[in-house]
A and B are shown apart, each in its own frame.
Chain A
Amino acid sequence: AQKITQTQPGMFVQEKEAVTLDCTYDTSDQSYGLFWYKQPSSGEMIFLIYQGSYDEQNATEGRYSLNFQKARKSANLVISASQLGDSAMYFCAMREGDTGRRALTFGSGTRLQVQP
């Protein structure tokens, strides 16, 4: 089974509108972390936001927020007030804690295009 599933290969959004990028995950660990990374066309991986499995509040970082629904095993990224510079690939990733595995498992990504 896929550990991280991103079902939207591509998304379009109008500038200044909000957009939600979906991510579901699968783990039997009680302790885990969920991450979102942005990869622009230049290729670097940019960390956006982190949510711990025990965090009760949804994580927020500026225009980014993570809609964490633990029972549904989903960790959707919400970008408010989209900007042209938000056009990029977005990856959801998970680090499983109890297994001791410290590396990240990535989803297949969603390509977001912001239109003027």
Chain B
Amino acid sequence: DARVTQTPRHKVTEMGQEVTMRCQPILGHNTVFWYRQTMMQGLELLAYFRNRAPLDDSGMPKDRFSAEMPDATLATLKIQPSEPRDSAVYFCASGLVLGQSPYEQYFGPGTRLTVT
């Protein structure tokens, strides 16, 4: 049963610290998404990659957030320095995109981040 995995599941850190979240997409999927979920904003897209290349990171605060895919099996989202307003659940999702054909996005379990 293929799944998207995310680590850590929970992270509590102090303001100003660096936070790194990791995601392992489903093997064979060519697209990876990072979403953030908060009570106030709901689910919003931060960034996504196709074949490891960033396609859209317009939803991500560039001054403190960075997203990378060092290889096809790992996606990372970093926050440096972290702030209390970054507290949220961060979801990674992956999918296999072939042209205009429909596809599903499979979500990981999320990383619950608390910045104090």
Residues of A that sit less than 8 Å from B by CB: 31, 33, 35, 37, 43-47, 50, 52, 91, 93, 97, 101-109
Contact = CB atoms under 8 A, between A and B. Distances in A.
B56 A43 contact: no
Contacts of B104: 35, 47, 50
Chain B contact patch, size range: 20 to 34
A44 B102 contact: no
A46 B110 CA distance: 12
Nearest to A52: B102
B42 A109 contact: yes
A97 B101 CA distance: 10
Contact of A43 (B31, B97, B100, B112): B112
Interface of B: 31, 33, 35, 42-45, 48, 50, 55-56, 89, 91, 93, 95, 97, 100, 102, 104-110, 112
Contacts of A46: 107
B97 A50 contact: no
B90 to A, nearest CB: 11
A47 B105 contact: yes
Contact of B102 (A50, A91, A106): A50
B58 to A, nearest CB: 10
A102 to B, nearest CB: 6
